[in-house]
Amino acid sequence: MAKKNSLNQALLSGNEALAQGAYEAGLSVACAYPGTPSTEILEVLAGFPEIDAQWSVNEKVAFEVALGAATAGARSLFACKHVGLNVAMDPLMTASYTGVLAGFVIVVCDDPGMHSSQNEQDTRWVALYSKMPMLEPASPAEAREFVKEAFAMSERFDTPVILRMTTRISHTKENVTIGERKVPERPAFERNAAKYVMVPGHAYQRHILVEKRLVKLKAVAERTRLNRIEKGNGKVGFITSSVAYQYLKENYPDASYLKLGMSYPFCDGKIRQFARNVKKLVVVEELDPFIEEHVKTLGVKVAAKDPSFRIGELTPELIPGLVAGKAKREQQAAKRKPRLCPDCPHWASFAALKKIDAYVAGDIGCYTLACLPPMSALHSCLCMGAGVTFHEGWRKGAPGKCIVGVLGDSTFIHSGITGLINAAYNKTKGVIMILDNSTTAMTGGQQHPATGLTIRNEPTKKLILEDLCRACGADHVDVVDPKNLEEFRATLEKRINEEALSVIISRHPCKLLRR
């Protein structure tokens, strides 16, 4: 519960404010898999005893559990980082057709500048692609306010609503008003095959409704106060959204603004009206020219910008160059590279891999940092789970090489299990190493099924990784502490020379483990 001052306000980050707003909106069920910059949303929600909050094993599962709860009558929320939404895309696309019963909000946190991600995605395209509305707060206070709007919109238009945050909105702090929790009456749960069984005949009918819904949502976009015109001197007008709005206001307080809080579907009428009343129109947005391309399709003239501004995050300092139209974005100075903690157990695991000169098909977690010198002992990182599947692919593409697949415990449960079953089923040999440090360290130390604790640190059923790996089809499963250097190396050297599929569980707790 947020600490309030005498004005009934609390200093909250965007993620905390969003969680607070969802709580006030009567949220009942919240599901997520951790991922920076979204992780704190679920951590805060788990602090409210009225909310059923869970770390799910991955984003697809989280999405489906939360949507299931919404279609049974409970206001529900799913949160993830941008790449997490890729994992949930299969249910997401059809959720647009099924719609909801109680409100369902999809919170996605993009990471412009890739502070802690493997790519830069602009999730606004997902709203267009899935034909679902998207709201974009530009501050923590708006995050609290918009999530309430999102629940109301979801119920009114029978649609999931995407709420897009970015790193700066998620992690910036602001004084935010705290309100009371109001729980709407739960709609009755009823069987409705035409709405929830997406066989082609039903889906066709639902698609018709989706298109009609989009027309109604367009009308909402025209009149909602979330899309706000601020009249300025009329010399220059900016169409903008999210944090770019704040940076522009700092640089050009007297300009005119069309601030889009509902970024999809577009408010074409308002855009045209705004454009008519300014001499020069500039669209300023972070990452892709999502708004700009649309504005151009309306036949509205937009000032040109250098495409180099599509890469990386904006800053207040970059804005004048961008608006001037001729400046190129300067190459970013190399960021200080992160390192594994000095006593991290992953060092020992990679020392053993280096000793056998392995080609390491890696994955995402703290251990990805082993790609950097002096270790330089991890040779791929694509997406979660690919440590196992790249191992199989590399063995096919480069037979005879010493190849090991490596991934963390949380990542293995997230999406390594299916890869291991695939390897066993397709008679793949070789060694998969699970770096089991008993936590999801990279995102700050969250629980997962193999820690035996829930998001609230309550004891629960504990997943036994060694039993699971055997059940997936591994011929040998060894559990070894990498700090026992001799035993660890001996095990690795033995297994790598066998014609078998082996899993080595390298088990030693993370040094920063929260107890």
Interface with ligand SF4 by CB under 6 A: which residues? 340-341, 344, 346, 366, 437, 441, 510-512
Distance CA 39, CA 33 (A): 8
Minimum CB distance to ligand SF4, residue 440 (Å): 10
Choosing among ligand TPP, ligand SF4, none, which partner's interface includes residue 176 (Cβ < 5 to 8 Å by kind)?
none
Choosing among ligand TPP, ligand SF4, none, which partner's interface includes residue 511 (Cβ < 5 to 8 Å by kind)?
ligand SF4
Minimum CB distance to ligand SF4, residue 341 (Å): 3
Minimum CB distance to ligand TPP, residue 372 (Å): 15
Using the rule CB under 6 A, is 245 a contact of ligand TPP?
no
Per CB under 6 A, which region of 76-84, 105-113, 161-169, 207-215 contacts ligand TPP? 76-84
373 CB contacts (<8 Å, ≥6 apart)? none
Closest to 329 in 3D by CA, of 308, 343, 315: 308
* Residue number with the smallest Cβ distance to ligand TPP: 408
What is the pairing mode between strands 76-81 and 403-408? unpaired
Minimum CB distance to ligand TPP, residue 148 (Å): 27
Phi-psi region of 452 (alpha: psi -120 to 50; beta: other; left: phi over 0): left
β-sheet bridge partners, residue 228: 259
| Sign of the torsion angle spanned by Cα atoms 190, 191, 197, 201 | negative
Using the rule CB under 6 A, is 167 a contact of ligand TPP?
no
Q: How many other CB atoms are found less than 10 A from the CB of residue 270?
A: 19
β-sheet bridge partners, residue 107: 79, 163
If you count them, how many residues does the chain have?
A: 515
Which of residues 440, 451, 502, 506 is near ligand TPP by CB under 6 A?
440
| Sign of the torsion angle spanned by Cα atoms 138, 142, 146, 147 | positive
Choosing among ligand SF4, ligand TPP, none, which partner's interface includes residue 340 (Cβ < 5 to 8 Å by kind)?
ligand SF4
Q: Please identify, using beta-carbon distances, which residue of 217 and 435 lies nearer to ligand TPP.
A: 435
Minimum CB distance to ligand TPP, residue 141 (Å): 27
Tokens of 501: 């599929």
For residue 491, what are the CA distances in angstroms to 205, 420, 438, 505? 58, 20, 21, 11
Q: Are 168 and 313 in contact (CB under 8 A)?
A: yes
Minimum CB distance to ligand SF4, residue 409 (Å): 10
Distance CA 105, CA 76 (A): 7
Using the rule CB under 6 A, is 78 a contact of ligand TPP?
no
Which of residues 123, 380, 437, 506 is near ligand TPP by CB under 6 A?
437
Choosing among ligand SF4, ligand TPP, none, which partner's interface includes residue 443 (Cβ < 5 to 8 Å by kind)?
ligand TPP
What is the SS3 assignment for 241? coil
Q: CB-hemisphere CA count at 13 Å for 355? A: 15
Using the rule CB under 6 A, is 83 a contact of ligand TPP?
yes
Q: How many other CB atoms are found less than 10 A from the CB of residue 343?
A: 11
Strand arrangement of the beta sheet that strand 29-32 belongs to? 52-55, 29-32, 76-81, 104-110, 161-166, 134-135, 262-264
Q: Please identify, using beta-carbon distances, which residue of 504 and 510 lies nearer to ligand SF4.
A: 510
| Sign of the torsion angle spanned by Cα atoms 407, 413, 414, 418 | positive
Minimum CB distance to ligand TPP, residue 445 (Å): 8
Minimum CB distance to ligand SF4, residue 377 (Å): 15
Choosing among ligand SF4, ligand TPP, none, which partner's interface includes residue 364 (Cβ < 5 to 8 Å by kind)?
ligand TPP
Residues 394-413, one symbol each (x = binds ligand TPP by CB under 6 A, - = not), give --------------xxxx--
Choosing among ligand SF4, ligand TPP, none, which partner's interface includes residue 35 (Cβ < 5 to 8 Å by kind)?
ligand TPP
Q: Which of residues 5-44 bind ligand TPP (CB under 6 A)?
A: 33-35
Choosing among ligand SF4, ligand TPP, none, which partner's interface includes residue 34 (Cβ < 5 to 8 Å by kind)?
ligand TPP
Q: Please identify, using beta-carbon distances, which residue of 221 and 352 lies nearer to ligand TPP.
A: 352
Per CB under 6 A, which region of 6-14, 82-90, 168-176, 265-273 contacts ligand TPP? 82-90
Choosing among ligand TPP, ligand SF4, none, which partner's interface includes residue 512 (Cβ < 5 to 8 Å by kind)?
ligand SF4
Minimum CB distance to ligand SF4, residue 294 (Å): 42
299 CB contacts (<8 Å, ≥6 apart)? none
β-sheet bridge partners, residue 422: none
Give the helix/strand (H/E) hosting 281: strand 280-284
Q: Please identify, using beta-carbon distances, which residue of 61 and 512 lies nearer to ligand SF4.
A: 512
Contacting residues toward ligand TPP, per CB under 6 A: 33-35, 59, 81, 83-84, 87, 364-367, 384, 408-411, 435, 437, 439-443, 510
